[in-house]
Structure 1
Amino acid sequence: MADLPHPLAAFIVGEIRRARGAAGMTQEAFGRGAGFSASHVSAVEGETRALTMDFIKGADRAFKNGGLFERMVGKLGAPSWFLPWLDAERTATQLRSFQPNLVPGLLQTEAYGRAVIRCNETLSEDEVEKRLAHRIDRQAILTKTNAPQFVTVIAESVLRRASADFQDTMAGQIKQLTTLAERPNISVHVLPDEVSMHVGLTGPFSLARLPDHKWVAEMENQLGGVVVDRDDDVDTLVSRWEMVRSEALPRRQSLVLMKEVETSWT
């Protein structure tokens, strides 16, 4: 399985090491229970080898703790399927995102993000706030030194989806979009409603270009999502990105449209 991103990995490694010590287990004994060699355990604990979900599940087996560490990953970070994407997002030199239904998470305001997360009625208010805080924390990658180039295409219908009680939230969201879109590393393009048929109708997806120039992709669905790194599949998504981007308005025209929508509610 894929590696976990730091600093979550460092925290989990520390907790596994402490649990092993408290149980009086050597690295060799722990490795036998977890299904790894003593040298592998030593490398993970010394942070010279990446921590993976396979190792975490092995630790749970060794300690017979009912899946404690796997649950910690889900609670403290994100669903396990999403972790490889977070790592790609953190190290990417370029990011691309097509969103036909929502404003991308990296550009959401707190009010908009909270409203989106609350659509999952199974979440408690505390869980909503934890997920929101994690989403907002991710946004720091766009303003850090050597921030990636982020280009997104958003359907016009996303900007206009606002009932009377949601217009203030949406107006604030569009204002943030126009502010962020003025940054040199961020481009927001609007796909006009008049483009009724396009390849992006099959769903949203994101792309990340890593420092080794390889692209990886992420696609979400109702049951979670998937991170894609198979070359043929990634090539298909890169091609579809280019097709969707070609249908969208240029950067300046997109800014004008967004400001017009915002003004219509204020």
Structure 2
Amino acid sequence: MGQVRFTAAVEVGQVAVGQLAQHWVPGLLQIPEYARATLAGEALTAEEVDQLATARIKRQAILRRDHPPLLVAVIDESVLRRSMRGRPELMREQCEHLVACTDLPTVQIHVVPQDTGMYPGLGGPFTIAEMEDGTRYAHVDGQVKAQILDQRSEIATLERRWARIVGEALPRAQSLDLIRKAATSWT
């Protein structure tokens, strides 16, 4: 399954998505300016950055459709503390947006606190999507290219890792408190 097909499948047929983010906020939870900032350092034209950021933001519509998927996002606390090129107002707005996203009934955000130390999530970001028929796919990010995984053994490995990662994260209410504190620190 290629990148385009994975994105289309996730937009149309998934019932649940688990997403680990250790470097930046997951795309489904980004504000437009944050999305652009994550792409700005790439070898892209301003038009390409705008097109990619716009497409990323449009995908967020799945969270507000009639039957939205369950989205469980686990974010490393360092994501909330990392400056976006000296723009504290951008990070404050992004953190406030995360808080607002938790008002959606099918969105859960958990934060792995900085004092956790080594945990399985440090191996890199990934997404696991469960489709309506129970089939699972995974998207694993890399520096050069992303991989789409559909083999049961690979998915099972990521699901075991996911369970351990969620176990290291704070519960929802504590995560929300930490996100709010991060937002106020960016003033």
TM range (shorter): over 0.9
- Counterpart residue identity of residue 126, structure 1: E
- Counterpart residue identity of residue 161, structure 2: R
| 1:94 is aligned to 2:16 | yes
**Aligned residue in 2 for 1:103:** 25
| 1:248 is aligned to 2:169 | yes
- Counterpart residue identity of residue 175, structure 1: E
Q: Secondary structure at the match of 2:141?
A: strand
Q: Say which of 35, 46, 60 aligns to 1:113.
A: 35
Give, in angstroms, the shift of residue 112 of structure 1.
Answer: 0.4
Max radius of gyration: which structure? 1
- Counterpart residue identity of residue 221, structure 1: G
- Counterpart residue identity of residue 89, structure 1: V
Give the TM-score taking structure 1 as reference length: 0.68
> Contact (CA 8 Å) 1:156, 1:190: kept in 2 or not?
yes
**Aligned residue in 2 for 1:46:** none
**Aligned residue in 2 for 1:185:** 106
Give, in angstroms, the shift of residue 173 of structure 1.
Answer: 0.3
Output the CA distance in 1 between the equivalents of 2:186 and 2:151. Answer: 44
**Aligned residue in 1 for 2:144:** 223
> Contact (CA 8 Å) 1:94, 1:210: kept in 2 or not?
yes
Give the TM-score taking structure 2 as reference length: 0.96
**Aligned residue in 2 for 1:132:** 53
Q: Percent identity?
A: 35
Superposed CA RMSD in Å reads: 1.1
Output the CA distance in 2 between the equivalents of 1:150 and 1:213. Answer: 16
> Contact (CA 8 Å) 1:88, 1:216: kept in 2 or not?
no
Structure 1 stretches lacking a partner, 5+ long: 3-80
Give, in angstroms, the shift of residue 87 of structure 1.
Answer: 2.3
Higher relative contact order (CA 8 A, sep 6+): 2
1:200-253 Cα offsets, whole Å, 9 max, x none, are 111000010001111110011111201100000000001111110010000010
Bigger strand share: 2
Structure 2 stretches lacking a partner, 5+ long: none
